């Protein structure tokens, strides 16, 4: 029963809404609300501020949420460790990854693991950068494949993939033969952009103040597949590392031209594993499979 209450607390905090949490939990809103009220009465403090458009954690609620998430993670790890003692490796692996690696590396790693360990399941999340930050801050993912961020203190970096952020375009684009390009050069042509182009924001704002340029976004999307098709159709330039475009670059459908801006030229993608769950068999097996796929992509990029 204790685990149920903590799970309700976690979901209400995550969604900021009792109704939305209840929908995710597949239970009645009244049941979730009743458990939260009972917990508040037991502790003698309010855990949430009730507002017209949802709820928000109080300081006491935030403190209890950390306990709840640690307890739920420990319980899940204990269950899977007990099963592993009997040779039954199972459990859910929660993965957050940048889009360019969700189209190739992650699916291939999952396929490899699933063949040998059919009782391991996966929850794979393709979120925008703001959601990545929230996921990592809450410690929800077991594994994450993201741009290196030193603030991810609960995670260790298992491996690093060094790559280059660049402009991706068709081979017949006027900039395709350049050795490097600036954001100002790219702004002279239509571009395709992620809904949240966080990595470019600071650099483009600084550069465009001096150059007077600005991006003309012909296509905006949170789907890498949509953007990839748009680039192949010549609708615009995209800004990515080559990791998710190895096949298209190898086949001559697209080219990758590194950006000249020093702050963008070099990038590192890290394979993060939650420190407290790194040794859990289902997490360890999955992390090693992803690590092998990243090594393969590194070799493929080097051969381009």
Point out the least confidently predicted range of 5-14, 101-110, 263-272: 263-272
Cα separation of 73 and 80, whole Å?
A: 11
What is the pLDDT, as a whole number, of residue 77? 75
Beta strands 266-274 and 216-221 are: unpaired
Go through 136-174 and write b for each residue having 16 or more CB atoms within 10 A of its CB, e for each that does not. beebbbbbbbbbeeeebeebeebbebebbbbbbbbeebe
Point out the least confidently predicted range of 9-18, 64-73, 196-205: 196-205
Spans of all domains in the chain: 2-65, 89-304
Cα separation of 65 and 3, whole Å?
A: 12
Residues 120, 89 contacting (CB under 8 angstroms): yes
Distance of CA 178 to the CA centre of its chain: 31
How do the residues of the chain divide into helix, strand and coil, expressed in percent and rounded to 5? 50, 25, 25
Point out the least confidently predicted range of 45-49, 87-91, 205-209, 282-286: 205-209
Cα separation of 170 and 160, whole Å?
A: 29
Residues 166-187: what's their mean pLDDT? 93
Residues 55, 12 contacting (CB under 8 angstroms): yes
Residues 240-266: what's their mean pLDDT? 86
Residues 261, 159 contacting (CB under 8 angstroms): no
Residues 213-224: what's their mean pLDDT? 84
Dihedral over alpha carbons 24, 28, 34, 35 (to 10 degrees): -40
pLDDT digits (tens, 9 = 90+) for 116-162: 999 899 999 886 666 777 778 778 899 999 888 666 778 999 999 88
Bridge partners of residue 160, in order along the sequence: 270
What is the pLDDT, as a whole number, of residue 1? 47
Mean pLDDT of the chain: 86
Q: Which CATH class is domain 89-304?
A: alpha beta
- CATH for the stretch 2-65: 1.10.10.10
Residues 85-104: what's their mean pLDDT? 83
What is the pLDDT, as a whole number, of residue 303? 82
193 CB-side CA count, 13 A: 20
Residues 277-283: what's their mean pLDDT? 89
Cα separation of 51 and 59, whole Å?
A: 16
| Residue 237: closest CA among 261, 223, 210, 257 | 257
Task: Tell me the pLDDT band of 89, cut-offs 50, 70 and 90.
Answer: confident
Structure tokens at 255: 């080219």
The percentage of residues in the chain with a pLDDT greater than 90, rounded to a whole number, is: 49
Q: 2-65 and 89-304 share one CATH topology? A: no
């Amino acid at each position: 029963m204790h685990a149920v209450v903590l799970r309700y607390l976690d979901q209400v905090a995550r969604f900021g809404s009792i109704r939305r949490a209840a929908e995710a939990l597949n239970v009645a809103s009244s049941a979730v609300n009743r458990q939260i009220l009972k917990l508040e009465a037991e502790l003698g403090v309010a855990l949430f501020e009730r507002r017209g458009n949802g709820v928000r954690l109080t300081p006491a609620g935030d403190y209890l949420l950390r306990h709840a998430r640690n307890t739920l993670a420990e319980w899940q790890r204990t269950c899977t460790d007990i099963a592993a003692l009997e040779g039954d490796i199972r459990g859910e692996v929660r993965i957050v990854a940048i889009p360019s690696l969700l189209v190739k590396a992650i699916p291939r790693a999952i396929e490899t693991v699933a063949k040998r360990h059919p009782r391991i399941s996966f929850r794979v999340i393709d979120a925008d950068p703001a959601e990545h930050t929230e996921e990592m801050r809450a410690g929800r993912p077991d594994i994450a494949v993201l741009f290196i961020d030193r603030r991810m203190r609960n995670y260790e970096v298992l491996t690093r993939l060094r790559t280059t952020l660049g402009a991706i375009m068709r081979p017949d684009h006027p900039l395709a033969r350049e050795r490097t390009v600036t954001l100002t050069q790219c702004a002279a042509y239509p571009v395709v952009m992620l809904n949240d182009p966080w990595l470019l924001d600071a650099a483009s704002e600084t550069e465009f103040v001096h150059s007077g340029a600005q991006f003309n976004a012909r296509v905006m999307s949170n789907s890498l597949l949509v953007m990839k098709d748009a680039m192949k159709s010549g609708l615009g330039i995209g800004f990515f590392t080559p990791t998710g475009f190895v096949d298209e670059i190898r086949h001559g459908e697209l080219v990758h031209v590194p950006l000249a801006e020093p702050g963008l030229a070099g990038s590192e993608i890290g394979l993060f594993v939650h420190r407290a769950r790194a040794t859990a068999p289902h997490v360890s097996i999955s992390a090693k499979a992803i690590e092998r796929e990243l090594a393969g992509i590194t070799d493929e990029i080097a051969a381009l």
